[in-house]
Structure 1
Amino acid sequence: MKKIKIGAVGLGRLGRRHAENIAFRIPNAELAAVCSIVQEEVDTVKKEWGIPYGYSDFEEMLTNKELDAISICSSSTEHCRQISQALEAGFHVFSEKPLGIGMEEVQLAKQRVKAHQGQIFQLGFMRRFDPSYAYAKQKIDEGYIGKPIMIRCYGVDPISVIDGAIAFAEKSGGLFFDMAIHDFDLSRWLLDSEAKSVYAIGACFQYKEFAAYGDIDNGAAMIQYKNDAMGLFYAGRMCAHGYHIETEVIGTKGSLRIGTVPYKNLVTIANENGVTNECVGGFLERFESAYLNEMQNFVDCIIENRKPDVGVNDGVKSAEIAYAAAESFKAGKIVYLD
C-alpha cells in the first residue's frame, strides 16, 4: 500500500491531534516531518513518535522532497501564507480553518488554490465529517423534515479554557471568524443555500481583555439566506458545564437536533448530588472521530486523485459570512452580501 508522506506544521492542541492521527491512525499515511516554532514541541514529538524530520522553519520543511503533502495547523494568521507556499512548492495541502483572518487573505488563498488545480486542497471544517452531522444531512436530503426553513446554532467554549482564548485573541480573527465560522459553514451545507444578509450583536460581558483586539466574549447573529431560510447563531466563550455545540434545523414537515445536551457518554450518575450526566470538556473530545475522518478523507483524495467535498469555496463563503457578521457588529446595522 502506498503511504502518503505528510509534513505537519503546528503542534498545539489541534495540531498535535492531527499529527497523532496521521502517525498512528491512518494506515495509508505516514507522518514524515513535524514543524513548530516551539523547538521543544518538535524535539518531543520527533523523539517519542520516531518521526524522521523535525523543523522550526516552515520554509525549510518545504524543501523536503520526500513529502507528498502538508497539514497546516498553525495560527490563523499564518494560514494564507503557508497555504500559498506549500502549493507553490508542489504539495497537496490540508489546512485548518480559516483560510485567513481577513477577506484579502481569503481571496488570495482562493486564487492560489485555483492556480494549482492538479493538487488536492482540503479545508478543516470537521463537523461535516462528524457521524451525527453526516446522518442529519442525509435525513434532510431524504426529505424527512420537508424543506428546511430555519437553522439554529449554539456554540460555546468551556470557561475552563478562557485564559487560552485570551492569549490567542490577537491571532484568532475574532469570535465570528474563530468560532462561529464552523456554524456558518454548517448552515450553508445543511440549508443548501448561501447567505443574503447578516445582522450581528455582541459585547465583552465579563472578559474585557478581548476588547483590546476588537473582539468580544459573546455574540449572536441573524442571517437570511438566498432561498429565504433563516439562521440564528450564538457563540460564546463562557460555558460553565463544558463544551456545548448544538444545532437545530426546522423544516416544513419536521425538525431535527444535534447535540441538544452535550453528554460525555451514556452514563447517568445518581448520588448525594442528585442525578447527573457529565458533559464533554472540549472540541478534541466531542469531535474526535470527525478529526480522524476528515484527515482520512484528505489522504484518500490524494490517492484516488479526487477533489474533497470541502474545498476552498466553502472557506471563502463561510469567511464572507463571518466578515459580514463582524462588520455588522461594528457598524450596528444589517450587512448585505453580494
Structure 2
Amino acid sequence: MNKVRIGSIGLGRLGDRHAENIAEKIPNAELIALCDVDADKLKRKAESLRVPHLFTDFDEMLECDDVDAVVIASPSGLHTEQIEKALEKGKHVFSEKPLGITVEQCKKAEEAVAHHPDRVFMLGFMRRFDPSYQYAKQKVDAGEIGKPILFRAYSQDPEKQIAGSIAFAAHSGGAFLDMAVHDIDLARWFLKSEPENVYAVGGCYAHEEFARYGDGDNVSCLMKFQNGAMGFLFAGRTAPHGYHIETEIVGTKGVLRIGSVPQKNIVEILDSHGVRRECCEDFLERFQNAYISEINEFADCILHNRKPEVTVYDGRRVVEIAGSCKQSFETGKLVEIQQG
C-alpha cells in the first residue's frame, strides 16, 4: 500500500476541511469516498475534489472495498456507533472529538478499539499537532521550565458566531465538553497527571438561551491534579475581538505562553483606530496546519503499522473529566473526579 484510501463522513465546517486536506494536502492518502446525508452538498463537494464514490448512508460506504480507512466528522452523538461499525468492517478509524457525548458511549468505543488491535484508531486532538504546542511540549519535557505547577487555558469563540452556538447548544453536551475538551487534553498532556477534583463556576452573562440546557455562555473551573499541579480553564462564547485560544504553563523555573495575544499573522495595522493586529476568524484558520498534520500522522501510522500517541483512552478520560466539570457547574459543589 503506497497510499491510504480514505472515506470521510460529514461535510460540516470541519468535515469539509478534512475532505479538502485529504484530497489535496496529504501526500500519503487519497480521498476515495465521501458520505453525507445532504445529497446536493455531497455531489458538489465530490465533483470539486474528484472523489469517485459517493454515499448518503455510512453503512453503504463501509461496504466499499476501495476504502481502507474512515475519517469521522459527523455529529458528536454518532461517533461511537460509527467507530464500532467501521472497526467491525476492518477499517482503520480517525474520529473527531469528542469520542462520545457520554462516558457509557466512550467505554463502548474503548471496547471496540480493544477488540481490533490490528486496526489503527486515532482521535482528533489536533492541538497536539500544532507547531507551537509541540515546541512548548518539547521544552516542558526537557525540563526547561522546571516542574510544571500550573496549566491555564482560555478558549473563546467570537460573539459574532453566537447564533451557531445557540443553535447547537441542545446537542453540544455543554461548554466543557464542546469547547474545553482540547484544554483538558492539553492539561493532561503537559502536566503528565490526572485531575483529582474540580470546582466550576460561570453563567449566562449575555445569552440566557444556554440556561435551558444547564449551560452557560462563559464558564470556568479550577482543578487539582494528582501530582499537586493546578489547572484553570475558561471557556467563553462571547469574545468581542475574535477567536482566542491562549495557553500558559507555569513551572518552577520558567513560564511558557502560547497565543497570549491572538493574531492572524505578524502584520500590524496602523489606521484611524490606532495600532492593532487582526485575530483569526475561527478554529479552522488558527489550526489549519495542525489539521493537516494529524491526518498525515493517521495515514503514516497505517502505512508503517504503528499506533498513534493519541488513544481512545485519552478520549474517554477527557469526556469523564468534562462531565465532572459540568456536574460541578450545575451543582455549585466541588466534585471528585473518578479515576481509572
Aligned equivalent of 1:138 = 138
User: 1:122-133 residue pairs with structure 2 within 5 A?
Assistant: 122-133=122-133
Q: CA offsets, 1:165-209, max 9 Å, x none?
A: 111122211111010010000000011111111111121111122
Tell me if the contact between 1:77 and 1:172 (Cα under 8 Å) persists in the aligned partners: no
In the alignment, structure 1 residue 186 sits paired with structure 2 residue 186: yes
How big is the shift at 1:285?
Answer: 0.5
Does structure 1 residue 243 correspond to structure 2 residue 238?
A: no
Show the counterpart of 1:174.
174
**Pair 1:147 & 2:151 matched:** no
> Could you report, residue by residue, the CA deviation over 1:223-279 in whole angstroms, capped at 9, with x for unpaired residues?
000101000110011111110000001001111100001111111111222111111
**Native 8 Å contact 1:62 1:86 kept in 2:** yes
Q: Give CA-to-partner distance per residue, 1:45-89, whole Å, 9 cap, x none.
A: 111111101111111111111100000001111111111111111
- Give the Cα separation in 2 of the matches to 1:276 and 1:320: 40
- 2:43 matches 1:43: yes
One-letter code of the match for 1:256?
L
Any idea what SS the aligned residue of 2:45 has? helix
Distance 1:46 1:278 in 2: 33
User: Do the aligned residues in 2 keep the contact of 1:75 with 1:172 (CA within 8 Å)?
Assistant: no
> Aligned letter for 1:140?
V
CA distance in 1 between partners of 2:211 and 2:64 (Å)? 42
Distance in 1, Cα, partners of 2:56 & 2:168 = 20
Deviation readout 1:148-179 (Å, 9 max, x if unpaired): 00011001011121111111122211111010
One-letter amino acid of the structure 1 residue matched with residue 274 of structure 2: G
Counterpart AA for 2:11: L
Q: Which amino acid aligns with 2:112?
A: R
Deviation at 1:217, TM superposition (A): 1.1
Structure 1 segment 46-125 matched on structure 2, within 5 A: 46-125=46-125
AA of the residue aligned to 2:173: G
Q: Does 1:285 align with 2:285?
A: yes
Distance 1:184 1:309 in 2: 16
For residues 280 and 57 of structure 1, the distance between their equivalents in structure 2, rounded to whole angstroms, comes to 35
Aligned-pair identity (%): 54
Task: State the one-letter code of the partner of 2:183.
Answer: D
Distance 1:211 1:64 in 2: 44
Whether the 8 Å CA contact 1:76–1:101 is kept in 2: the answer is yes
Query: Displacement of 1:106 after TM fit?
Result: 1.1
* Equivalent residue number for residue 255 of structure 2: 255
Q: Is structure 2 residue 311 aligned with structure 1 residue 308?
A: no
Structure 2 CA distance for aligned equivalents of residues 160 and 58 of structure 1: 33
CA distance in 2, matches of 1:89, 1:202: 44
For residues 80 and 207 of structure 2, what CA distance do their matches in structure 1 show? 29
Distance 2:143 2:269 in 1: 37
Stretches of 4+ moved more than 3 A in 1? none
Partner of 2:209: 209
User: How much is the aligned-residue C-alpha RMSD, in angstroms?
Assistant: 0.9
Q: Is the CA contact 1:99–1:315 (under 8 Å) kept in the aligned structure 2? A: yes
Q: Scaled by the length of structure 1, what TM-score is found?
A: 0.98
Count of residues in Structure 1 that have an aligned counterpart in Structure 2: 338
Equivalents in 2 of 1:209, 1:7: separation in Å?
37
Distance 2:17 2:125 in 1: 15
Which letter maps to 1:265?
A: N
Alpha-carbon distance between aligned partners in 2 of 1:335 and 1:273, rounded to the nearest angstrom = 46
Q: Which residue of 2 aligns with 1:223?
A: 223
C-alpha distance in 2 between matches for 1:160 and 1:68: 39
- What TM-score, normalized to structure 2? 0.98
Q: More deviation in 147-156 or 324-333? A: 324-333
1:162 equivalent in structure 2? 162
How many angstroms apart in 2 are the aligned matches of 1:152 and 1:231?
6
Deviations 1:117-176 (A, max 9, x none): 110000000000000000000000111100000011001011121111111122211111
